[in-house]
Amino acid sequence: MNIKLKIWRQRNASSEGQFVEYQLNDVPAEASFLEMLDILNEQLVLKGEDPVTFDHDCREGICGACGLYINGHPHGRFRNTTTCQLHMRKFKDGDTITVEPWRSEAFPIIKDLMVDRTALDKIIQAGGYISVHTGGVPDANTIPVNKHDADLAMDAASCIGCGACVAACKNGSAMLFVGAKVSQFALLPQGQIESADRVQKMVARMDELGFGGCSNTYACQAECPKGISVTNIARMNRQFLAAKITEPL
């Protein structure tokens, strides 16, 4: 198949970027989107040109590193699909595909399609963990957990931290990400001990890093490749409010 690519090229965060068009012919329909970019880069290198910089790692939809803004959608327009799981057979011969990096104040561009997403790591470092002693695996397995709560915790833990929710939100909000990371611990007995402290620290760090407020448009839920529900945002808000109300004066 033959396609035209409009790719955002930018040397670094301080330079001015622009879209550059590339014509790519004879692309295998079974190739993944990232493999297609590999083909483009091979051709650019052979021409002596600078290859397109993009982020990736596992290429199995697990790590979340492959985030690209494709034709106006984070990871493309297909639901529950990461960029690395997107295949060229989803496009038509002769299509023009526009590829951009995540657009967010909290995600400065490193080069071309690669952005710095360490802001999400900093939120996790602020409190997205369990520090109290919970014993070993056998001890944890002896603690009864309601099946409904366990399922909700697992659903929240499926967040891969790709940042699609941030890119989709017109305010650049990380509320869905933080809500999921708060929920995955708060729903389990082991995580409830530090729940009040955790949610306050993570929300405070999120605000410090320049993420916007929730836009309430549900764009984050619609574009999330793992189908994380906005109910996690509601749960985080309830926990945050409860923590503030019960906080010692």
Look up the domain containing 42 and give its range. 3-111
The residue to which tokens 């997205």 are assigned: 128
How many structural domains is the chain composed of?
2
Q: Are residues 207 and 189 in the same domain?
A: yes
What is the average pLDDT across 166-191? 96
Q: Are residues 145 and 212 in the same domain?
A: yes
Share of the chain above pLDDT 70, in %: 99
Domain holding 178: CATH number? 1.10.1060.10
Per-residue pLDDT tens for 200-230? 999 999 999 999 999 999 999 999 999 999 9
Q: What is the pTM of this model?
A: 0.93
The half-sphere exposure of 67 on its side-chain side, counting CA atoms within 13 A, is 27
Given this model, what pLDDT does residue 76 score?
97
Q: Which two tokens stand for residue 135?
A: 């014993």
One domain, residues 13 and 71: yes
| Domain stops at, among 45, 80, 111 | 111
Asked if residue 94 and residue 127 are part of one domain, the reply reads no
Instruction: Please indicate, yes or no, whether residues 127 and 237 belong to a single structural domain of this protein.
Output: yes
